[in-house]
Each structure stands twice: as structure tokens, then as C-alpha cells.
Chain A
Amino acid sequence: MTVTAVRKNPEALSMTITAEFSAPPERVWQLWEDPRQLERWWGPPTYPATVTSHDLRPGGRVEYHMTGPEGDQPRGYWEIVEADAPRSLVFRDGFANDDGTPNTDLPMFTARVKIEEIGDGRTRMSIESVFPSAQAMEQVLAMGMEEGITSAVAQIDAILVADPVPAR
């Protein structure tokens, strides 16, 4: 299992998930920095993501849509608050209208990503998500991004066997 800790705080409406990877921080950072890699993990298999714009600098934006089984395409975007490769990334995640403009009816939430080396070529990544309200959480979950109960988890042990060097 790569997820090492999940800390939920119902009172503060936040969740922090911590995971470890058998790869250096630079490699883990690529998952966020390279739009082609980002779109391979952001959406679940039933809602693959397509990243149409990607600027990870502070003040920059990442724009994406997801494509659902019925052809529905919910759109979203990130506003980058902080970016310090390969160590940290803070962004606000929001929903967009069909024309790409921000949908202000739906909530934004803040994600804080921390990436640190823990020795042996391993890296710990933590992601803290803070929701503005419980209603915000419900909407996020209703946007077609839910996954069924974690069937994919069983595959992880096999995946962990390999430990290739970073692609670049």
C-alpha cells in the first residue's frame, strides 16, 4: 500500500492523505508538472481527464475537463497559489462552465501538496484538502468524480515491485 496515512478532521472540514512513492521527489513532481501525466491520474478510469491549459507558476492556471461514460464533460480549473518545484504546490480547485469561465455557483477548495525525500530514494507526498463547507464537499463528490469502493487498491502491491529511474 502506498497510502500511509489519512487524517480526517470533520470539524475543520479537511482531509490530509499521505502517500509514499519509490521514486525521488523530482519524479513525483512530474506527476503534477507534466500535463500528460496529470491527466492520467486526476480522473478515475470512468472519467478520464484532459488538460487543455497548464501553467504551474504562482498566479497561473490549469484548465481541464473530464469525459464521463455518457459523454458528459465537467470542466474544472486550478488557480495556482504557490509552486516550489519539487517541494510544494498550493492551488484552489474550482469548476468551470462549458465555455471555460469559472462557475461561481460551485465551490472552490484549497489543496496543499507537500513533497519530501525520506531517504532510500523514497518520497513522501501529503495532500491537504480544505473545503469551504459541507455543501462544497457534496458538490465536489457529485461532479462525476466519485469512484466505487477501492477495487484498484489490490493491484498496488504488484506495482510496487518495480522501481524505475525518473523518465527525465
Chain B
Amino acid sequence: MHTAADIDRVIGALADATRRDIVRRAIAGHEGVAELAGHYPMSFAAVQKHVAVLERAHLVTKQQIGRRKVVRTHVEGLRAVRRLLDQYEDLWRGRIDRMTELVTHPKEKDA
């Protein structure tokens, strides 16, 4: 599930403030859709729709606990995006290391 297209879906899902808030609340994994809907000034159906977008992006899952269904955050989906940014950070850290070397020891490596 960690292809780039999946990650794009994650990004799209997280582009909305309500969905980001749902992701945060669902880390605890105590609330169902109805309870989540109580936090927002919008209809149950609207919140249900947001949860569905997050489910498709593998950012939350619904879990049966006894007779209740709770919404729980799937942290691994978030981590995939994070990992890409970590790699990119390494690339630039390397560049800045070399810049520093050039600025501070300009002659050393000249042919």
C-alpha cells in the first residue's frame, strides 16, 4: 500500500482541516462516526464522508469493539509520507555539508 499513488491519496486526504482533526482524534480509537460527528458543526453524513475519504487513504480503519464500531488512525499511512521527506532531508543535508566545506576551506580541494 505504499506506492506513490497511495501516498498522493494520503496527501489529498490530509489536505482538509476537518479530516486532519479526525485523524488526530482517532488516534485514541474510542469514538465511532456518530461521536466524531458531535465535534463538528456539520451533518453526520458529511462527517461520514470525511471518514470514508480517510479510510480509502488507509489513514483510518473502522474496528468492531463489542457492539460498537470505532474509528482508529492507521499511523503507518502517515509514516510513509514522512519517510520520503526524511530521505529528501538527507539529500539536502549532504549538499549543505559540502557547501560549508567550500565556504570554509575554499582552496583545499582545488586541483
How big is chain B's contact interface, by range? 35 or more
Asked if A6 is an interface residue, CB under 8 A from chain B, the answer is yes
Chain A to chain B contacts (Cβ below 8 Å), 25 pairs: A8-B89, A10-B14, A10-B78, A10-B82, A11-B11, A11-B14, A11-B15, A17-B92, A21-B103, A28-B99, A40-B102, A44-B91, A44-B94, A133-B8, A134-B10, A135-B7, A135-B8, A137-B88, A138-B4, A141-B87, A146-B90, A147-B90, A150-B90, A155-B97, A164-B105
How big is chain A's contact interface, by range? 35 or more
Query: Which residues of the other chain, B, contact A161 by a CB distance below 8 angstroms?
Result: 104
Q: Beyond A3-B96, A31-B102, A137-B4, list 5 extra A-B contacts (CB 8 Å).
A: A2-B97, A8-B86, A40-B102, A147-B91, A163-B104
Footprint of B on A, CB under 8 Å?
2-3, 6, 8, 10-11, 13, 15, 17, 19, 21-23, 27-28, 31, 37, 40-42, 44, 127, 129, 133-135, 137-138, 140-141, 145-150, 152-153, 155-156, 159-164, 167
| Complexed CA–CA distance, A21 and B100 (Å) | 7
Query: Which residues of the other chain, B, contact A13 by a CB distance below 8 angstroms?
Result: 11, 81
Nearest opposing residue in chain A for B79, CB measure: A10
Query: Which residues of the other chain, A, contact B4 by a CB distance below 8 angstroms?
Result: 133-135, 137-138
Q: How many A-B contacts if CB must be within 8 Å?
A: 125
Task: Tell me the chain B residues, 65-111 only, with Cβ under 8 Å from chain A.
Answer: 78, 81-82, 84-106, 109
User: Does B96 lie within 8 Å of A10, measured CB to CB?
Assistant: no
B102 CB to closest chain A CB, in angstroms? Answer: 6
Q: A141-B84, A162-B104 are in contact. Are A135 and B5 (CB under 8 A)?
A: yes
